[in-house]
Structure 1
Amino acid sequence: MTVVARRQQADDVAEVLVTSEEIAAKVRELGARIAADYQGKDLVLVSILKGALPFLADLMRATQIPLALDFLEVSSYGAGTESTGAVRILKDLAHPIEGRHVLVVEDILDTGHTLSYVFDHLRAQRPESVRLCVLLDKPARRLIPIEIDYRGFEIPDKFVVGYGLDYAERYRNLPFVGVLKPEVYARGS
């Protein structure tokens, strides 16, 4: 991406909710807590693609203990800004998790539909434990109660982009979390 294209993406942002510096500090804090809690345990970080990928990459480097990685790709969004509520697994885990400690790494907890489905799916595979690390928590939209073990930031009920989160597959590479200008949605990208 050129500097001009990146500047255009940043110009589409109306408000920055979480800066890149705040994200980096929180990721270091979460990594230290996770390392302390899972020291000596067989830990698997399960990331939900695609949005959680930047968070996972930074979090695993900040978690200074041996760990394994696996991925789920799950969809509950169409092309718009609202979850459809219909959750589908597009890519399942590559390795067994039975008897292992699983920490789900997710970018955002919104209604709870997706994570409730994911947790049921993972628990059916009989891991030792399943816990949740989420970068962004949007409690105003919660429909299904979900326990968060490691929370980054609580945010207001706004559709956000950046640091892995997208609108129409764009804006994931912004280094912060922000809200787009209304005219971006009006033009459709």
Structure 2
Amino acid sequence: MNDTVNSLNTTFDEADCLADKATVEAALDRMARAITERFSELDPVVYAVMNGGLVLAGSLLPRLPFPLELAYLHATRYGNALKGHALDWRVPPTHPPEGRHVLVLDDILDEGLTLAAIVDTLRAQGAASVSSAVLVHKCHDRKAYPGMRADFCGLDIEDRFLFGYGMDYKGYWRNAPGIFAVKGH
């Protein structure tokens, strides 16, 4: 095994599990019920925010029993870093939002700068409405604006460096079967 794999395995082995797979799955079920209630008659377009929103989209969409169109976009402030930087639009929205009810799926609402910019962009492009859904709301007071929350949220989690279910640690462990916090972060 190379040093990178050893280091990544150590990070996983030492991490604290903050929400196990069963807890996450129950949160996804709750989110799906609320999203269905809101969107089932609206013919929405759902944008998965790459890369973090990919796992949420794959886990959540089969729980939504109504027609929808799936699209994606890729905007990030993190890349593979542990701290955010300027917003980088890697792929603009792949489906025009004009006149459509939009749901944006992302892994986490941390400070919310990326999600706020995405929502603002979709509104500026003429979406009839824009809602957001995140698996994790990180609990702290450093949001893009006071009281910021996604319209649909699975779990409120403490302010630590998280990975799993789409959230990464240095580009890895998006596939971890739960929500984990890096030891010491």
Could you state the TM-score of these two structures normalised by the residue count of structure 2? 0.88
- Find the residue that maps to 1:73 and give its secondary structure: strand
- Per the alignment, residue 92 of structure 1 pairs with 92
**Distance in 1 (alpha carbons) for counterparts of 2:15 and 2:170:** 17
Quote the offset at 1:169 in angstroms.
Answer: 1.1
The gaps in structure 1 that reach 5 residues or longer are none
List per-residue Cα deviations over 1:126-164 (Å, max 9, x = no partner).
Answer: 111001111111130533123421111111110001111
Task: Please give the alpha-carbon distance, in whole angstroms, between the structure 2 residues aligned to 1:33 and 1:153.
Answer: 14
Answering whether residue 70 of structure 2 is matched by residue 69 of structure 1, we say yes
Matched position secondary structure for 1:154: strand
Structure 2 unmatched runs, 5+: none
2:47 alignment counterpart: 46
Report the AA paired with residue 158 of structure 2: P
Counterpart pick for 1:160 among 141, 159, 162: 162
Query: 1:42-93, CA deviations, whole angstroms, 9 ceiling, x for partnerless residues?
Result: 1111111001111111111111111111111112014431112x11210112
Counterpart in 2 of 1:37?
A: 38
Encode CA deviations 1:11-38: one digit per residue, 9 max, x unaligned: 4342001111111111112112111211
Q: 1:179 to 1:119 in 2, by over 3 A?
A: same
What SS does the aligned partner of 2:15 have? Answer: strand
C-alpha change, 1:65 and 1:78, in structure 2 (3 Å) is: closer
Count of residues in correspondence between the two structures? 178
Corresponding position of 1:22: 23
Over the matched positions of the two proteins, sequence identity in percent amounts to: 33
Greater than 4 Å deviation, 4+ residue runs: none
CA RMSD of aligned residues (A): 2.1
Q: Contact 1:158–1:179 (CA<8 Å) still a contact in 2?
A: yes
TM-score, normalised with respect to structure 1: 0.86
